[in-house]
Amino acid sequence: MSHFLTKNRSIVFHSGFVALLAGFVAVANGSDNDATVPSMPSGWISAYPTVVQTGTKPTLTWGINYPSVVEDYLDIENGNTLVATEKLDCEVRVLGAGVTVGSGSTYSFVPTEGRINYDGDGYERIFYGTNDDVDPDEVVWSASMKKNDTLQFGGRYYYNRSWGPWFSSSSGTLNVRTLVDGEIPPTTTPMHTAPTLESFLKPYLDSTGAVEIGPMDVIVFMELTHYDSQMSDSGYDLQDLVLLVTFKAEAKSNNGHGNNIDGIDSSNPGNAPFIDLDTDPTIDDEK
């Protein structure tokens, strides 16, 4: 799942003997794709203490998570390298591996290798197998990224006891492409109408051929059997290895300073009608 911009609020209740619900999380449903992110706000709530007597002032704290988009949290450099602009949790799944041998209706998948280069540490294997080995629900790699950390991707196939050419984000070619929701895959033949369209990709393309994923997802297309100099060839279809990268930004929570019934913190001091209620107006309660 992904991140949402978060706003947090605290409020003091004056009540008799009551029991308060300690917490809840309301998560809205996403789109048809399991890996996508809810497009509606979600939230959480907690109370302390949970049981109070007359005269006690319990504090209710909650957060509202507003949907965001991945471009708010990372940059895409050269169309194939992801650079975090703040702290992010990252999960990678393999959607499909489409390298085949054969012709017409008689063909078979060949083994494909996928690798990730995390922050310049070198390319490590995250997948090896044929399309029959792919489980699109399995997280094959995850990390907590720091600001300015980078992610690059690479792959190759194995056939007739030898490796095919190696292509990656750092190879200087257009064989690895990263796209976000709404973008069109850069193939000569429109991917969604191409006769070679793999079934594993259909759920991630809309009727116009645009990528249809969550707002905090990035899809990685790899072409492993043709060089980018052969882009006019129908075989250059960017379906030889496809990854889905899902991000979630670090959630912000109330730091316990202030009483946000007045809405006052260091970002808007003196602008609320209940200024005398703020326990510490020098603290930004939303950090």
Instruction: Quote the strand ranges of 130-238, DSSP E.
Output: 139-145, 150-159, 162-163, 167-168, 176-179, 217-222
| 187 closest CA partner among 160, 223, 216 | 223
pLDDT in tens, 121-160: 999 999 999 999 999 999 999 999 999 999 999 999 999 9
Band the pLDDT of 255: cuts 50, 70, 90: very low
DSSP 52-117: E-TT---EEEEEEEEE--GGGTEEEETTTEEEESS-EEEEEEEEE---EEEETTEEEE--EEEEEE
Q: Give CA 56 to chain center in angstroms.
A: 43
Q: Over the chain, what is the mean pLDDT?
A: 78
Greater model confidence, 65 or 257: 65
Peptide linkage before 58 cis (omega within 30 of 0): no
* pLDDT for the residue numbered 234: 79
How big is the chain, counted in residues?
287
Encoded amino acid at 28, one letter: A
Structure token pair of residue 260: 């946000």
